Structure 1
Amino acid sequence: MTFRLLMLASAALALTACETDNVWVDDGIAATPVPAAFETDPMTGRGDRADDPALWVHPADASKSLILGTNKDEGLHVYDLSGQEVQFLDVGRVNNVDVRQDLAAASNDEFNAISLFTIDADSLAVTHEGDFPTGKEEPYGICMGLVGGAMYIIPTYKDGSIQVWVADNAGFSLQREVQVGQYGQLQLEGCVVDDEAGTIFIGEEEHGIWKLDLADSESAPEIVDTIAAANGLVADVEGLSLWAGPDGAGYLVASAQAADRYVVYDRAVPHAPRGVFSIAASTDGSVDAVSHTDGLDASSAALPGFPRGVLIVQDDANPVTEVDQNFKVVDWAAIEAALDLAE
């Protein structure tokens, strides 16, 4: 082999290595910028700490709603709707968090467990109720569901599997384990349950988005979208959430992390892609733009100043990468306008 061919071979190997490390090359897909509305207090310090938010909506007074945010080095932060931190729970390395009614669950990879929290509507206090072991190393992502009256907690794993835990008189029991990841490095993280449809959507970081019917114990994963389909997804496919409208309407939102953008799909089958957006600085410049989002949460609940709901996203750089990370909040009405989404 000539020296030139050796150099070309080395370059090809280097490119392959870069692709494995998720170095993104511009694919020409335009992302419409949407301004941030406000942000939470930072997790002061250096390192990749902030990961996943979840919105708890107060059952009687939306102004008292809370944002829960994981610190994957330390525990769970709690913020009010001004973005001010009101509580911190030192419960170990929790990676993802989700909420149903007055219960929150977080994946705790320090103890290979699911951490449970209750939220008191009167005091607005979040209480750590304890942890239960998953019997499997390093629960990574997590999502909750309330399907047919049953409470579900579903952690995801780096080996491409999910566990389906269902509440019973003893607490939570493992109903089934499903191998979802099929391609690439198999790793799963982001997931979200459509309670009304009884379906879970799961992100395979190097491949795309899957869904699974929770009502059918024999169901197999079905593909929703792939990176290769070029609808806007790139590796890593990270946070997933639903903006749930009435009668099954609404949208699935996915973080395409390496491209600093988000892909929106119809909630309803066949989950058609509806557009791609990025999050820019606030219109007054007081909140910086968002990059490299990991976890996110969407809500259609009417909140003060946000009658169409919000999208909450993790921001890697605030504004410097891995320094004082926090969560940004976007008015869902601004996303609707940017992508011409009509309900």
Structure 2
Amino acid sequence: MGKSITAKNSAASVPALIELNSDSNDWCTEWPDISKRFYIHVYDSDKNPVSGVAVGLEALETADGKPELTLMNRPVTNAYGIAIALCRIKAEAGYYKVIAVQKNDSGSIYIDALQSSPMNLNMKASELPAPRVPAAFDGIIDDDDYANGVVANVIAAGLQRGNMVYLQWGDNVLQNAVQEDAESYPFFLTGEGIVPNEQLFQNQSYRVRAFVVDPAGNGSFSTDTFLTVSRTQGGGALPFCEPLDIPQGDDGSLNQEDILGGVTINIPNGPLILKGHIQAEHQLTEALAASINLKALNNKGVTIDTLNIPLNVVNIPAEDDPYSFQDTSDPSQPTALKDFLMSIGVGSIRASYSVTIKDYTYTVTKERSYEVDTSNSRH
């Protein structure tokens, strides 16, 4: 794992120390359209985390030149003093250096801004084959493929326990830890006992890639394959669900205080009607599976991340309308939803949900959109 630290004397609660690290020091020269995640930690002089600090990344000149960095979000440190920077990198194969820097509220670097010591960045070509998706050997995933089970196999000789495997499916990334030595790692995406992530199965084309990181932080990257989803029993084609609601965003926006306090996502549990016929009196009560689908966009409207939240639909009472998913209200307790929302910085989210009833998956097409600004704690 790459890591760099620098210190600067300062009073308590004032940024004095900044650290930069990532899951791996490596990245792929053929992936300029995919964001690499960097983690920036900010502390005061007593090593206490400092929240609300705007940060960014800068490339340094090296013998191999300077990589082109495009920061896709506006990272601000959360209550734990951590910011996630989503950065696209364009560079030839070679060795480079990157630093984390403190920024002002407008996103600019100022004189004497706090910065980390350099983190090494190794840009390399792909060396793994593209993931194998047997359901899409003909290039298309249809309703039968979806029903029979979709599996994406990441091929990487010599996988060992402790390796992390990442599947990049369009704008969506899935990750798992290897539990035993193997030559490949399967991601089971649909099938019995699995709550599908419907963001992977909208009626569109997807570019599928993968990478593997060992415990030392060394990364290996795959080539890509393209597939198309073409479904009539779902895939975002059925607009028969009412939209969800986030009460904290009733003014159209979510801020840091809303997010760290734990947002609530309300999902209707009323009737689902298709062509005038009731398919379910209470859609969640009768659902076999359901999930919340979130898409994060930066302030230029570019998708930077996605999050799928499977719901436990066992024994949801019919009178629970709406049904509420509640993130933890403890600001000191990190969750996937908190990390996802805080990493946006300034931008927006689009929120929808999916329910599976009998043989059909219904995805709401009435998306809710909320502005996100984590730079300030109050509207």
TM-score interval (norm. to shorter): under 0.3
* Greater fraction of residues in strand: 1
The structure having more radius of gyration, on CA atoms, is 2
User: Normalized against structure 1, the TM-score is what?
Assistant: 0.27
Q: What TM-score results when the alignment is normalised by the length of structure 2?
A: 0.25
